[in-house]
Amino acid sequence: TMQHLSNVLRSWLRKLLCTNRLKTFTNWPFVENCKCTPENVLYVHGLMLCLFSENIL
């Protein structure tokens, strides 16, 4: 169905955006033994977008 295709596309776009966003964390000083790793920062940023945006991908 179109709804399924829309959900698949949204999921694919999220993964693509996250992958590309992680690449921007070059020379990030917090990579081990802390809560500010690039993955955690990206995850929290994504949560904030979901909470405050009605039209998130």
- On whether the CB atoms of residues 25 and 40 are closer than 8 A, the answer is no
Going residue by residue through the chain (57 aa), what tens digit of pLDDT does each one get? 777 777 777 777 777 777 777 888 888 888 888 888 888 887 777 766 655 555 544
Structural domain boundaries of the chain? 2-52
* The two structure tokens encoding residue 9: 């596309």
Is the whole model's pTM more than 0.75, yes or no? no
